[in-house]
Chains A and B, each alone.
Chain A
Amino acid sequence: MHKEQVIIEAKKKPEAQENHETSQSVELPEDLRRQMMSESEKETTFFKGECADGIAQAESRAGKDGLVFDGKDKNKLESFSEEADETKTELLTAINGGAEINETVVEKTDIELNRKTKNIREYKRDISGVFESVLKNKVKVENIYTEIDKIQLDIDSLQVNSIKKIFNYFKINKLNKERLTKEEQISLLRKDISSAEQLIIELSDQIEVKDKTEKILKYTKDHFKDSPEYMDKIEKIEKEHEMRSIKSSIIRNNAFIFHGIKDKKSGDVKEQESALKQEVSQDVRIKIAMALEPSLSTSSFRNDGAKQRLWSDIGLLLREGHIDAADSSDMHTEVKGINDRDNLKITTTSDIDRIMMQKRKTWDGMYWYNEIVVRNPKYAGLCVSSLEINKDLAKLSEELDIPIFFHDGKGRVFETALQSETNKFILIQGREVTPSDIANSKYDISQEKRKSLIQEVVKEDIFHIDERMKDVQLL
């Protein structure tokens, strides 16, 4: 046999180089053949082992994570082992010339291999090292799966937390809204309570004043009935009281007494001039005047054909009440309470008559309005200076069943009848009325209606009555 050094080139197959050191020096073809038989056996065995290991790992992961290991894939891996066996058989057939591979040859080959090539035990040790490495990797895989499980748990946890957060967000948001609503309700209720309490105080005071006045008069009469001097004084007081009444005053002076109520278009009322907040609408102001009968600032005008300037185009004509003070011009009285005003000038009955009869011409030839402060007013009706009124006023007129009078701007006052058209409310001018007609007006709102108006206005946050109100002295 020709001796020749042969190098099996397997550089393109590094795994074969690393594991089996196929680049071996072989002196003879026979040696080469034996080495090929041996190497092919190892290579095939190792390959089949890797296939089996792949199947085992896949089955393990599938079992652990509840995954489906496709049977076709398993069959493919198994078929690779069979193909490797077939490949090895092909090789053995090729190098043995079709002869059967008998055990003797194999044994001989092994002996030769043990002698001339790397010892099988060393390979086993190498394989063992590889399996150790595989086991280590399996442990790593297990660790990675554990980590994946942790991640999954974190995801689940995060998801749960997110859901909790979202749920809590909406829950908290809802609760916050509920809380805010409750707080708003509380705030509104507090305002209502405050307004109602203030009103109760005012009304109680009003009743108390009446009671006290009556008691004082009765006491005075009882104690001084035998004293002509004091009885004269009492009679004078009572007469004075009668003279200062609206009814007596308007008949005596043939004048109308008008309480102007401005709307937002005609200008805001100064805060100090009214107990009501500036934003309170005209119809609500009228309702309050009707319901509470507060101390009012009014003006008088007479039917003398002269152009008459009034504080407002819309208001109420008074039929009853008590005049506390009067002046020929605006006194700029300030509200002190619902039933009291400040900055009043001391006024006698003769002063009142003089002021109501007086004409005070202004630079533009019109007559300026005077100011008459009236306590406990009562009304004959609404008074307007236009024959077309707005919807709110028309609605209010119907609601309160109150007459509407028309003032022609020259001191004449007429009855009217309301005619409602589509979005238009026209007053049909009727007969002219005198101050005496107004004084004898039978119009009054019922106690029930007055009560419902009080309840209605108390619900509104309309009063700006401040600390001054607490020190109100009504007597």
Chain B
Amino acid sequence: MSEETEKYKQIWKKFQDKISFLKKRRSEVLKDISKKFDQQQIDKIRKKIG
């Protein structure tokens, strides 16, 4: 494996890691949004019941 190939490999890995990190953060934000929505709906139901 040439140095250039190794370099590309490292760059690609770094890219993939960053994208994975972004995906993970996006997933967390989406979960958080979903939780917030659920909580809002629960609050609405409670308000109706209570």
B29, B36, B48: residue with the most chain A Cβ atoms closer than 10 Å: B29
Q: Report the minimal beta-carbon distance from B28 to chain A, rounded to whole angstroms.
A: 9
Residues of B within 8 A of A370 (CB): none
Chosen A-B contacts, 21 in total, with CB atoms closer than 8 Å, are: A6-B1, A10-B12, A12-B20, A29-B8, A36-B11, A36-B15, A40-B15, A47-B26, A54-B26, A58-B37, A61-B37, A70-B36, A73-B29, A73-B36, A80-B26, A80-B29, A87-B15, A90-B18, A91-B15, A95-B8, A159-B49
- Interface residues of B, count at CB 8 A: 31
Measured CA separation A77–B15 after assembly (Å): 19
Q: Complex: how many Å from CA A9 to CA B49?
A: 55
Tell me the complex Cα distance, A36–B11, Å.
9
Which residues does chain A contribute within 8 Å of B4, judged by CB atoms? 29
CA distance A76 to B2 in the complex (A): 40
A348 to B40: give the CA distance in the assembly, Å.
104
A13/B37 in contact, CB under 8 A = no
Q: Which residues from B are CB-within-8-Å of A62? A: 37
Chain A's nearest CB lies how many Å from the CB of B46?
10
Interface residues of A (CB under 8 A from B): 2, 4, 6, 8-10, 12-13, 15-16, 29, 32-33, 36, 39-40, 43-44, 47, 50-51, 54, 58, 61-62, 65-70, 73, 76-77, 80, 83-84, 87-88, 90-91, 94-95, 148, 152, 155-156, 159
Query: What is the distance, in angstroms, from A41's C-beta to the closest C-beta of chain B?
Result: 11
User: How far apart are the CA atoms of A83 and B29 in the complex, in Å?
Assistant: 15
Indicate which residue in B1, B22, B44, B45 contacts A83 across the interface (CB closer than 8 Å).
B22
Q: Which residues of A contact B8 (CB under 8 A)?
A: 6, 29, 32-33, 36, 95
Q: Is the CB of A70 within 8 A of B33?
A: yes
Q: Which residues of chain A come closer than 8 Å to B13, judged between CB atoms?
A: 9
Q: Given A50-B26, A155-B45, does the pair A94, B11 have CB atoms closer than 8 Å?
A: yes
Minimum CB–CB distance for B15 against chain A, Å: 4
Asked whether B26 lies within 8 Å of A67 as measured between CB atoms, the reply is no
- Chain A residue with the shortest CB-CB distance to B15: A91
Bound CA span A15–B20, Å? 9
Residue from B2, B19, B30 in contact with A87 in the complex, judged by beta carbons closer than 8 Å? B19
Contacts A4-B5, A32-B5, A73-B33 given; indicate if A84 touches B19 (C-beta within 8 A).
yes
Residue on A with the closest CB to B10? A94
Contact B2 A29 (CB under 8 A): yes
* A6:B20 contact, CB within 8 angstroms: no
Known contacts A36-B11, A91-B14; 16 additional CB pairs below 8 A are A6-B8, A6-B9, A44-B19, A47-B26, A51-B26, A54-B29, A65-B40, A66-B44, A67-B36, A70-B33, A76-B29, A80-B22, A91-B15, A95-B8, A148-B41, A159-B49
Taking a contact as CB atoms under 8 Å apart, the answer to whether B36 and A15 are in contact is no
Closest to B8 in A: A32
> In angstroms, how far is the closest chain B Cβ from the Cβ of A27?
11
